[in-house]
Chain A
Amino acid sequence: MAEFYDKESVRAPMSQRLQRFEPPSDTQAIGALVSVTIDGKELKVPLGTTILEASKKVGVRIPTLCYHEDLCVAGVCRICVVEVEGQPRLQASCAYPITAPIKVKTHTRQVRQARRHILDLLLSKHYGECYACFRNNNCELQALAKEYGVDFFRFGHPEKPRYRIDRSSPSVIRDMDKCILCRRCVRTCIDLQEVGVLEVNQRSNRSKVITFGEKPLGDVICINCGQCINRCPTGALRANDPTDDVWAAIDDPTKHVVIQTAPSPRAGIGECFGLEPGVPLTFEMNTALRRCGFDKVFDTNFSADLTIIEEGTELLQRLHKALVQKDKMVRFPQFTSCSPGWVKFCEHFYPEFLDHLSSAKSPQQMFGAVIKTYYAKLNDLDPKNIVTVALMPCSAKKFECNRPEMCDSGYKDIDYGLTTRELAQMISEAGIYLPAMPKSDFDDPFGTATGSGVIFGATGGVMEAALRTVIELVCGIQVEDLFAHADITPVRGFDGIRFMELPIKKVGPVPELLKGLFEDWDWLVGATLKVAVAHGTANAKRVMEDIKAGGPCSECHFIEFMACPGGCLGGGGQPIPTSPEIRAARARAIYAEDAAYEVRKSHENPAIVRLYTEFLTEGPCSHLSHHLLHTAYTPRGKYIV
């Protein structure tokens, strides 16, 4: 199992790893540390450290474009060039591993001129006006142009678009006129996510970022995770923006516009207003949303709790079928189905495993179905006049809400999916400075949520929430008895793949909620529940291959998959930029919010209890809940005909 924890193995394929410096095996002879002087500041760094990494340590800033902390080195943009004493040419600092003592100068005349020259050349092919671009003020190219004092276009500037904007995908829009060929999206798609939608074709001045066969993005095998958007330095990639439609719904007096907000955007939206990453603005956002004109503001955590109940019951049902009824058709491990990027990934690359996916819908879609049925009845509203908006950290959610099967309420369960960035835009448009808003709570009847719902935003959160509920419902004990403060730490963290085993030593009585489905838990005594967590589709792929090969993952009962690195908090709809530190800060915000909740377990959520007594009276995984809260998947395959 050790190879799963090996950080190298969960990243770029062989071809990319060769670009990294392999430190000599006998470091004693050469000395493991090497001294380097950067702009007169001397320091010692481990062999193989790049000049760029070393310069960060002494606080020297070197500009970068194609370099990204999450991605392997490309060294294509050359903006990070520096002068290395004794070398005739400038060197790209991001791709220069230090193997001998060197002296580096980062802003000599030659360097400054080269950088300015590169910028001028990039701008000579970059079509687009900054004030008509969604990345205005958040664009790395624009920032560099300012930094290097670009005040005219030395090599001209395109006056007409050369490419047609590709709007075929429901999630991601591609505008190649703004592309500077840094290949961050290519490395994201091929190496980080291992989906393989984008690549560079042709040579030299004809090269361009393309999809397979230069087909529209909507027709190729894209899982809509939007990681490329988060890493694009310019506005070449962006999410499909429905804010105009949302405003139109708000302005229409006949429409009852309801918004649900997911946990991750709260931890990230502050970044759009200039705050440090990791400042949660949950309750400020509620006020701002009401001022924008939304009629009701609900918490997706409610339906996250609902998902836990449904998905957890499904797991128990599967276990019951396998252990008691000896049903050979039951598939293990069960996979989570909350991440629409992962679901589409599975449909494309592992269609033979669709039976493993939990049939439970994602929290977003469950909420939509509940709002247009239960909530409509409760408030005597016509569901056709209800507009459901979902604030998500995700671009794949836009695809999910447009899936044809997601209409179980008789209407489109969720009408519009908004990303964190788009909501920040709407809030600014309403003249609101979010951090200064007074705090207010969510609306009833779904106002109360639990800490379990909040942690859905971080990788391992779904698993932790499910375990909290399953332990209590089955074992009849408090989670706190097993884990301090109910923090199930083995599933937390940012390791690519994490395992946990939970032996069930004793069982309690079957709770009221599940009485219709199970008579007792005696059949679970002595069993060991094995679970795993994977984030990022590259890790998901590793888990799937391991299951195919019959490795440790195939022995698990339940596996949580998240398409994006870090889980939803690193989603494709979150504020740009992203980095491991930013994601860690957002995770801290999410876990802090969890710890602050009084109720931290899904099954204790009073709103959930009420829903099952008033509406879904037959209990979880019943006929009605299957109709509204569960779905089926499409085997898509990876061939494009």
Chain B
Amino acid sequence: MSNFVQSLRLWFSPARLRAEGDTPDYRFSLANERTFLAWLRTALALVGGGFAVDQFLPDLRWAARAGLALALLGAGVLCALRAGGRWARCELAMRRGEDLPVSRFPALLGLEVALVALAMAAVVLFGWER
């Protein structure tokens, strides 16, 4: 939880980031930026998947369709917010010369995507259409 508070404080006072430690090699910062962008693309893919479920599966029952779409859209929101927080925390760790922060978010995201995929497979196999 303290990690969350820390990244929230970084979001709202960006000057703190520049005040900490010393500037790392610009290539490490750029690599961190590309990782941030890759997470952002993951978030956008989840959001796009949510919209696609909502629109291109009109034969599904409303509950199944809305549930799958909301699971994907919610994962997209979390992924986008976490991408920003993680970028700030990695930048801070590099400036201070500490280890990069670890997190269980990738495992949870993988689990959720697997669950959504299983639900999709069940919908296709058992024909839960209206």
Q: Do chains A and B interact in one complex?
A: no
The chain B residues found within 8 Å of chain A, CB to CB, are none
The chain A residues found within 8 Å of chain B, CB to CB, are none
